[in-house]
């Protein structure tokens, strides 16, 4: 893909949509089924000539006899796999920059559990360059091997903000850590014991028990209806997507526009995520293909998918990847041959320098296999 696709002088619009959104992951149920949607995806396609792109999408719709005014991946994936392949070919042939965050929900919850109950941010050396790798390794470990109670008890602690429920969450994680003798079991057990000790110590020192508990649990966001939302993959996916776009454009994003599909309950949270990315200043490189040092900012707006073929294309791209992953990894179903070709095209087009392609946020790296 040519670097001119992301030069800093021409306006470019990134159409953004998601797939597999089931809301707050702490409502995933005792079986962690997440509404039978174990993956979440957020993806975007960068377009400079919107009229030309939308005309090409319309031509594809005519070619495949799609009459609906609003393309939805839930119907296209099974019913029109050749359309999916042609859309991916269009993105590749037109050298359009695209970015996707593909998140395994259980793994995403696991990162929260480890972040707060094993290696809490207020009480570890955050300058340690290996800290994030360690957190990822332990997150993958518990996502693959810990019983569901580790997660459901953590959910209860989040919802109640209760000291006793938080202790139960700590103890459930520690029980799992002590159930084996591997290096990861031992390291996790030591980390949890240390975090529990710190929690008890801070409880004695601080005047407010409520404030102490908040330091060992995530801070909720508030949806439009005033309801607390504890773990929402939309938030971190958007910050990561935005940082990847910033990296691809070498920080020159004043000509970049972000157009996101309407999210009835979470619009305000998404704008908050964008602002959080701009204000984060982590002080270190989060990944080789993301840049959280925002010297310029992009404009973001919300638009209904039925009014934008660009958003509809982003929906098909993202929904395709979510359902492809679920078919292959969860349901063990072989997708249609056109979908296999489409996935291969995406894999071949990914750019490890600019960061175009898919960021896989999941436990399938199998770094802990044979633990």
- Tell me: the pLDDT tens digits for 25-55? 999 889 999 989 999 999 999 999 999 999 9
Residue 101: Cβ within 10 Å count: 25
Both 152 and 209 in one domain: the answer is: yes
Both 209 and 295 in one domain: the answer is: no
Percent of the chain at pLDDT exceeding 70: 94
Both 92 and 202 in one domain: the answer is: no
| Domain contains 371 | no
Give 117-172 as a DSSP string: HTS-GGGS-TT-TTHHHHHHHHHHHHHHHS-HHHHHHHHHHHHH--HHHHHHHHHH
Both 344 and 239 in one domain: the answer is: yes
Record the tokens describing residue 241, joined without a space: 């997507």
pLDDT, one tens digit per residue, over 119-176 is: 998 877 777 778 888 999 999 999 999 999 999 999 999 999 999 999 999 999 999 9
- Domain end, chosen from 199, 221, 243, is at 221
**Mean pLDDT over residues 310-334, rounded?**
95
The parent domain of residue 164 ranges over 106-221
Is 263:16 a contact under the CB 8 Å cutoff? no
Tell me the CATH number at 299. Answer: 3.30.420
Both 174 and 286 in one domain: the answer is: no
pLDDT higher than 80, residue 366? no
Cross-sheet strand order for the sheet of 39-47: 299-303, 256-261, 12-19, 39-47, 98-104, 357-361
| Domain contains 30 | no
* CA 188/CA 176 separation, integer angstroms: 9
Record the tokens describing residue 69, joined without a space: 């005014």
pLDDT, one tens digit per residue, over 202-236 is: 998 877 899 899 999 998 877 666 678 889 999 99
Both 93 and 242 in one domain: the answer is: yes
The number of distinct structural domains making up the chain is 2
User: What does the chain come to in residues?
Assistant: 371
**CA nearest to 19, candidates 313, 220, 275:** 313
- Domain end, chosen from 200, 221, 242, is at 221
Both 62 and 162 in one domain: the answer is: no
- Domain end, chosen from 161, 187, 221, is at 221
Record the tokens describing residue 185, joined without a space: 């079991």
| Domain contains 356 | yes
* CA 319/CA 102 separation, integer angstroms: 10
Q: Which residues pair with 361 in a beta bridge?
A: 103
Its pTM stands at: 0.93
**Mean pLDDT over residues 350-359, rounded?**
95
Both 337 and 262 in one domain: the answer is: yes
* CA 8/CA 253 separation, integer angstroms: 7
Q: Which residues pair with 256 in a beta bridge?
A: 12
| Domain contains 61 | yes
| Domain contains 295 | yes
* Three-class HEC string of 253-317: CCCEEEEEECCCCCHHHHHHHHHHHHHCCCCCCCCCCCCCCCCCCCEEEEECHHHCHHHHHHHHH
Strand duo 256-261 + 228-229: pairing: unpaired
Compute φ and ψ for 42, nearest 5 degrees: -130, 125
Both 238 and 353 in one domain: the answer is: yes
**Residue 171 confidence (pLDDT):** 98
């Amino acid at each position: 893909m040519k670097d001119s696709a992301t030069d800093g002088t021409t306006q470019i619009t990134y159409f953004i949509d998601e797939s597999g959104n089931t809301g707050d992951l702490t409502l995933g149920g005792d079986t962690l089924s997440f509404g039978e949607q174990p993956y979440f995806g957020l993806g975007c396609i960068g377009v400079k000539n919107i009229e030309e792109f939308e005309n090409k999408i319309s031509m594809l719709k005519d070619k495949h006899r799609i009459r609906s005014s609003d393309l939805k991946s839930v119907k296209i994936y099974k019913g029109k796999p050749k359309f999916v392949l042609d859309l991916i070919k269009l993105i590749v042939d037109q050298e359009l920059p695209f970015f996707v965050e593909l998140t395994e929900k259980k793994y995403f919850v696991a990162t929260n559990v480890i972040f707060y109950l094993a290696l809490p941010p207020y009480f570890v050396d955050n300058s340690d360059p290996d800290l994030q790798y360690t957190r990822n390794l332990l997150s993958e470990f518990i996502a693959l091997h810990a019983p569901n109670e580790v997660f459901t008890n953590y959910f209860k602690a989040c919802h109640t903000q209760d000291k006793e429920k938080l202790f139960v969450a700590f103890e459930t994680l520690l029980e799992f850590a002590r159930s084996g003798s591997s290096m990861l079991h031992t390291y996790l057990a030591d980390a949890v014991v240390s975090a529990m000790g710190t929690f008890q110590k801070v409880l004695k020192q601080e005047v407010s028990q409520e404030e102490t508990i908040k330091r060992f649990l995530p801070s909720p966001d508030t949806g439009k209806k005033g309801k607390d939302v504890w773990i929402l993959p939309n938030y971190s996916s958007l910050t990561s997507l935005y940082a990847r776009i910033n990296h691809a454009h070498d920080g020159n994003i004043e000509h970049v526009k972000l157009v996101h599909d309407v999210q009835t309950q979470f619009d305000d949270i998404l704008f908050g995520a964008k602002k959080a990315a701009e204000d984060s200043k982590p002080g270190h490189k989060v990944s080789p293909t993301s840049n959280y040092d925002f010297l310029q900012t992009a404009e973001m707006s919300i638009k209904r998918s039925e009014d934008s073929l660009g958003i509809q294309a982003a929906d098909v791209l993202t929904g395709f990847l979510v359902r492809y992953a679920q078919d292959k990894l969860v349901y063990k179903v072989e997708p249609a041959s056109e979908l296999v070709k489409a996935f291969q095209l995406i894999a071949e087009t990914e750019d490890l320098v600019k960061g175009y392609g898919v960021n896989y946020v999941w436990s399938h790296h199998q770094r802990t296999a044979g633990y």
